[in-house]
Structure 1
Amino acid sequence: MSTVGIAIDWNTYADKALRGELLTEQEALSVLEADDDELLAILQAAFRVRKHYFGKKVKLNLIINAKSGLCPEDCGYCSQSIVSKAPVEKYPLLEKDVLVDGARKAMEMQAGTYCIVASGKGPTPRELDHVIAAVEEIKSTMPMKICACLGILSQDQANRLKSAGVDRYNHNLNTSAGHFAHITSTHTYEDRVTTVDHAKASGMSPCSGCIVGMGESQADVVQVAYALRDLDADSIPVNFLNSIPGTPLETLKHLNPRYCLKVLALFRFICPTKEIRASGGREVNLRSLQPLALYAANSIFVGDYLTTEGQEATDDHRMIEDLGFEIELCAL
């Protein structure tokens, strides 16, 4: 049953989240269906939850595109996939010194987490050894949390990354189980869940999120939020599709900033204690409303993404300062 037109006290949703109670599917949908006139009230309720668990601190993350293109997967959103015609730079795994230098740049930008991301279905033995060597050097020389995102992992590979010092492993569910086959055919939703489980079993912190705007329904957004709660992902990057020319999803451009903010509020209500990150596509889809994202989210990426540009880190620092929030420095 739709709740459009029904007056809702959004603070009751915050109350449920603070008690650890899960919103019903109807309640969750009501956040996404709400009239735009309700946006500030929704964000205020989400902020109650965010402030309770995280205060006004903002976690910063920085990505390095450690291996670009050359991917055999057919993910429809990705400019690096085998089906993409986007003119992206293609190169094998970066030299170890470049990966280590990227961590230093992350520290300069006040990022607490450095994310080493490589295209491909999963790492080869040589690639895994290479990343491990870089991680060990970073960990021996600077106080930096490291997140790896190398594709599908075996349990042994996950264990090796943990032993090397990788703190977190990212592998996004991307969308709901029911919508997944519309996005990718070369691996399954279950493959992704298994990799997150392997990361958890190794002792690495699980990071998994979604991409909104890939032709999914509002019910799909709700279902992937529930799934990420069930998966107990510690960090949840909420990406908003940046439809890149040359990719199968290049024509999908239906998101607006108000809906994106409702999505972030929904994730805060459903996963109240977790790091919610306003991630890829933030600048393109939230535009001038980016600062409002931090009333629900408590984390952002600074710098560039994989094949698309982000805004200047100094602009992000200023946005956080102007809000009266503060950057959460790395504490290992």
Structure 2
Amino acid sequence: MDLFDALADKAMAEEPPTRDEALAVLATSDDDLLDLVAAGFRVRRHFFGRRVKLNFLVNIKSGLCPEDCGYCSQRVGSKAEVLKYTWLSPEEAVSTAGVGVAAGARRVCLVASGRGPTDRDVDRVSTTISKIKDSHPDVEVCACLGLLTDGQADKLCQAGADAYNHNLNTSDATYASICSTHTYNDRVQTVERAKHAGLSPCSGLIAGMGESDEDLVDVAFALRELSPDSIPVNFLIPFQGTPLAKEWNLTPQRCLRILAMVRFVCPSAELRIGGGREIHLRSMQALALHLANSIFLGDYLTSEGQAGRDDLQMIRDAGFVVEGGEAETSQHDGRPDLVRVRRRGAGTTEAANA
């Protein structure tokens, strides 16, 4: 407990732990887990009070990706049963985003599969961003389009984008074991380009891919060096049909330790619980809010999340408040996040965030 208190004091002074201290957090016993969470909560409360920021994903292009990221259901050669469709029209994206905003989301994340956008793609997404901003001027828009080339981040910023997401995912040392079609340094470069253009950098990690404690600490310190404003911590969803389908090695306790470690290493960053929280944290989701101050509301890119109404109830029950205040959700029949859009010319109804 003396270690945890010391880590909390250092974090509130924005002083990082040592590598050994970060590793010690990941090695915490179950008997000391609640003391660890309590120390992490001191840091979370210091920087963010009891606010929880809600984020909403809009999958504007799904599947058909040429990259071979082993964790991804949309990778080349994936046999996972996910929806595959090309770009949503700006009108479809605005309509979908509006459902998340009505449910209380403060940030809309526009995500497209693929290695990275062409300049024409950037123009297309810029139109979508502008239209969302026209409809919801107070909502942040974050783009996540893959690797960026020179000038593309500037165009997104000019269109009104507030942030750009590109995760490091794992340590530099092990990145090649999960992907061969691009490098860890490619990802770092994209985050730097977003920062240089004036976009708020958003970059995080995926836990549960078979990495070591050392890998997790390495990527946490790499993120601290990049200094993103927000850090999504995702927990691997082992999709059938992907190389990591058998990697079921996370427990709720392990997830809490990872969140606590990242909170101590990057104390003032918005820490977001990302994909996989429902299946790995399970009944401890509310406890994780004592460490993280941000979540995705409802569904993810290719997997269904917890019902939006249940997310809001969980936040209230845990004694936290939604940043910006909660919006009325009853008009969405109890499931504001189960977004379905009719694809232009497809003749079928598909889930944009399934």
2:59 corresponds in structure 1 to 65
Per-residue deviation, 1:8: 4.6
Structure 2 spans left out of the alignment, 5+ residues: 326-354
Q: 1:123 aligns with which of 117, 128, 131?
A: 117
| CA offset digits 1:202-229 (Å, max 9, x no partner) | 0000000000011110010001000000
Tell me the SS of whatever aligns to 1:107: helix
- Do the aligned residues in 2 keep the contact of 1:155 with 1:199 (CA within 8 Å)? no
Structure 2 matches for 1:284-295, cutoff 5 A? 284-295=279-290
What corresponds to 2:82 in structure 1? 88
Paired letter, 2:107: T
Correspondence for 1:98? 92
AA partner of residue 224 (structure 2): R
**How many matched pairs?**
324
Within 5 Å, give how 1:233-248 maps onto structure 2: 233-248=228-243
Instruction: Provide, for residues 272-315 of structure 1, a one-character-per-residue CA deviation record: whole Å limited to 9, x for no partner.
Output: 00000011000010001100110000000011101001001110
TM-score for both structures, normalised by structure 2: 0.90
Residues 291 and 320, structure 1, Cα contact 8 Å, conserved in 2:
yes
1:148 aligns with 2:132: no
Could you say what secondary structure the match of 1:161 adopts?
helix
Cα shift readout 1:9-40 (whole Å, capped 9, x = no counterpart): 31111011112211111100000011111110
Instruction: Choose the corresponding residue for 1:250, options 245, 248, 252.
Output: 245
The counterpart of 1:170, out of the listed 165, 173, 180, is 165
Superposition pairs of residues 191-202 of structure 1, within 5 angstroms: 191-202=186-197
Distance (whole Å) between structure 1 residues aligned to residue 124 and residue 144 of structure 2? 14
Look up the match of 1:268: 263
How far apart, in 1, do the equivalents of 2:88 and 2:298 lie? 18
Distance in 2 between residues matched to 1:20 and 1:275, nearest whole Å: 14
Secondary structure at the aligned position of 1:314 is classed as helix
Q: Which residue of 2 aligns with 1:3?
A: none
1:103 to partner: Cα distance: 2.1
Give the counterpart of 1:137 among 107, 118, 131: 131
Q: In the alignment, residue 123 of structure 2 is paired with which amino acid? A: D
Alignment-derived partner of residue 179 in structure 1:
174
Tell whether the 8 Å contact from 1:103 to 1:144 is kept in structure 2 after alignment: no
Structure 1 residue aligned with 2:34:
40
- Taking the aligned partners of 1:68 and 1:103, their CA distance within structure 2 comes to 16
Which residues of 2 match residues 24-39 of structure 1 at below 5 A?
Answer: 24-39=18-33
| Identity across matched positions, percent | 54
Q: Secondary structure at the match of 1:65?
A: strand
Please give the secondary structure, in 2, of the residue aligned with 1:190: helix
Cα distance in 1 for residues equivalent to 2:270 and 2:114:
26
Q: Compute the displacement of 1:109 (Å).
A: 1.2
Larger mean Cα displacement after TM superposition, 242-251 or 14-23: 14-23
Between the aligned partners of 1:256 and 1:80, the Cα distance in structure 2 is 25
Native 8 Å contact 1:155 1:202 kept in 2: no
Deviation per CA, 1:180-215: give whole Å up to 9, x if none: 001000000000000000000000000000000111
CA contact 2:108–2:139 (8 Å) conserved in 1: yes
Provide TM-score, normalisation by structure 1.
0.96
State the shift of 1:125 in Å: 2.4
Cα displacement (A) at 1:83: 2.8
Q: Is the 8 A contact 2:90 2:131 kept in 1?
A: no
- Cα distance in 2 for partners of 1:303, 1:248 equals 26
Moved over 3 A (4+): none
SS of the counterpart of 1:155?
A: coil
Which residue is equivalent to 1:113?
A: 107
- TM superposition shift of 1:104: 0.9
Matched, 1:228 2:223: yes
2:3 corresponds to 1:12: no
User: Do the aligned partners of 1:76 and 1:83 also contact (CA within 8 Å) in 2?
Assistant: no
Q: Which amino acid aligns with 2:113?
A: S
Residues 278 and 300, structure 1, Cα contact 8 Å, conserved in 2: yes
SS of equivalent residue, structure 2 residue 172: coil
Query: Shift in Å at residue 129 of structure 1?
Result: 1.3
Question: Hey, what's the Cα distance between the residues in 2 that align with 1:10 and 1:297?
Answer: 17
